Amino acid sequence: MTVRTPAVARKPRIGLVAGGLGAYWPQFPDLLPQLRRSAARVTERMREFDAEVVDVGFISDAREGAEAAEKLRAADCDLIVGFLTTYMTASMLVPVARRADAPVLLINLQPAPSMDHASFDTGQWLAYCGACPLPEMANAFERVGVPFRSVSGYLEDERAWRRIGRWIRAAGVRSVLRHGRHGLMGHLYPGMYDVSTDLTMVTGNLGGHMEVLEFDDLRVRVEGVGDGELAAKLDETRAVFELADSVVEEDLRWAAKVAVGLDRLVEDFDLDSLAYYHRGLDAEIHERLGAGMILGASLLTARGVPACGEYELRTSLAMLIADRLGAGGSFTELQALDFTAGVVEMGHDGPGHLAISEHRPLLRGLGVYHGKRGWGVSVEFDVRHGPVTLVGLGQTRDGRYRLVAAEGEVVPGPLLEIGNTTSRVDFGCDPGEWTDAWSGSGVGHHWALATDGLLAELRCVAGLTGLELVEVAV
């Protein structure tokens, strides 16, 4: 069976238009060729990003701007980049911003870090004049109700290109949220009011499609797993994981069989994320399926399909956001506070994001999971040491979603050996004070623990999706 790789299945579509004021061309014959060379270089750099680039060319007046707007509207872009090569009027880009139904990023990249003031004439100066229309564009965008964002620099300015890259990665998040298919299988973990999610509000806040699944959808696929598929999954498991002595072969084979069934489920329903939970009773088949999910869900998460337990739909979406930003995103909750070391211990039993493990992940056999009926194998590891970001998706009383985030650092130290992902996170302050601030943010019981500092990227995500971003710091 060929399994889709979601991380490359839906690349963001970036619209690109460059322009300048056509009145200059007869006055300064060398100007337009130079600006076109700059535009070609921007196109070249844009194509280096992991995105589909729709380049509609160079515009010189409002009529051409309107034509470009129609082309970009038809392309259904996730982000439109307008390159200000020199001065141009707001009337040339307002149609793009208004009609294209996508957020717009304006870039002002002059040819070099500075002009040669002693030798430049007016035509040469105008090639450096992309900053000139920025305030005009900002004012016009505000008055027509279009959010304004820009990046200024020069053509080979890597700082500027890093900023542009953040917006393109954020467009990738917007794309997977707009077009994503999110699975929800089983039922709510009993009593967890905060986990309860209105499925309509997922589409209302983020876009995308909710696919409501039954554990029987998994059952019939697990029942159809052949010996060859099972053997291949067992080989994959032994290659990826270190196996503890506590792993029972029968439990391992069952988890691998469920993992194959999960691969089929994701493929058949074209899922970009999955949240699940089933309590079950007396070792009946649905309880056995629920207990066997951790291996397959961890492998899916590492492959770009975040899967988490406890029916935590908003956390599977937060994990998806972190994953599309290239930083993983492992299912996480608070575990304990270490006031002696000044760290917060956090993690979770169940699936983790294997791609961000500090060491080779361990598969441990368990007789019981905390607070849940079950048995079998569970994943144990520590998130890669260094900078990390917590990413949660909270919900307010009026139904609106908000991103909640905090940056810290995973540090070494003693960890529990109970089949959980566990990390020690230093937030540079008293663990108790940080925990109170984090809990007061409205984040909910679970969140995604991602590698690297992501606040700059998350600000771009918030800017493109319209989500409020709450940054927690003490």
- Give the tens place of pLDDT for each residue, 118-134: 999 999 999 999 999 99
pLDDT at 2 over 60: no
pLDDT of 373 above 80: no
Same domain for 436 and 326: yes
- Residue 1 forms part of a structural domain: no
- 338 pLDDT band, cuts 50/70/90, is very high
Out of 78-82, 130-134, 243-247, 320-324, pick the least confident: 243-247
Instruction: State the pLDDT at residue 281.
Output: 83
Stretch 405-425: mean pLDDT, rounded? 91
Domain end, chosen from 154, 177, 200, is at 177
Predicted confidence (pLDDT) at residue 280 exceeds the cutoff of 90: no
For the entire predicted model, the pTM comes to 0.92
Higher pLDDT, 463 or 193: 463
234 and 110 within one domain:
no
Return the CATH number at 207: 3.20.14
- Together in a domain, 353 and 450: yes
Which amino acid would we find at residue 135? P
Cα radius of gyration rounded to whole Å, the chain: 25
- The count of domains in the chain is 2
Q: Among 177, 209, 242, where does a domain finish?
A: 177
Find all residues with CB under 8 Å of 51, minimum gap 6, and list them.
11, 12, 13, 14, 168, 171, 172
Cross-strand partners of 366: 376
Shared domain for 197 and 55, answered yes or no, is no
Question: Is the same domain home to 172 and 189?
Answer: no
Digit-coded pLDDT (tens) for 138-158? 999 999 999 999 999 999 999
Q: Is the pLDDT of residue 94 over 90?
A: yes
- Please check whether residues 232 and 345 belong to one and the same domain: yes
Q: What is the mean pLDDT of residues 184-189?
A: 93
Q: Are residues 251 and 169 in the same domain?
A: no
Residues 270, 150, single domain; the answer is no
Q: By C-alpha distance, which of 444, 458, 443 is closest to 407?
A: 458
Which of 146, 177, 208 corresponds to the end of one domain? Answer: 177
Would you say residue 424 has pLDDT above 50?
Answer: yes
Q: What percent of the chain has pLDDT over 90?
A: 83
Looking at the structure, tell me whether residues 150 and 216 fall in a common domain: no
**In the prediction, which pLDDT does 217 show?**
98
314 pLDDT higher than 50? yes
Q: Beta strand pairing status for 79-84 and 343-349?
A: unpaired
Instruction: Give the mean pLDDT of 433-455.
Output: 96
| Weakest mean pLDDT among 190-194, 387-391, 402-406 | 190-194
Verify that 144 and 263 share a domain, yes or no. no
Residue 391 included in any domain: yes
Q: Is pLDDT of 374 > 60?
A: no
**89 vs 68, 98, 124, 150, 410, CA distance in Å?**
15, 15, 19, 16, 49
Confidence of residue 190 (pLDDT cuts 50, 70, 90): confident
Q: What is the mean pLDDT of the chain?
A: 93
pLDDT, residue 467, reads 96
Looking up residue 141, the CATH number of its domain turns out to be 3.40.50.10940
**213 is in which domain, residue-wise?**
180-471
* 214 and 115 in a common domain: no
What are the C-alpha distances in Å from 91 to residues 21, 95, 103, 118, 144?
Answer: 11, 7, 17, 34, 11
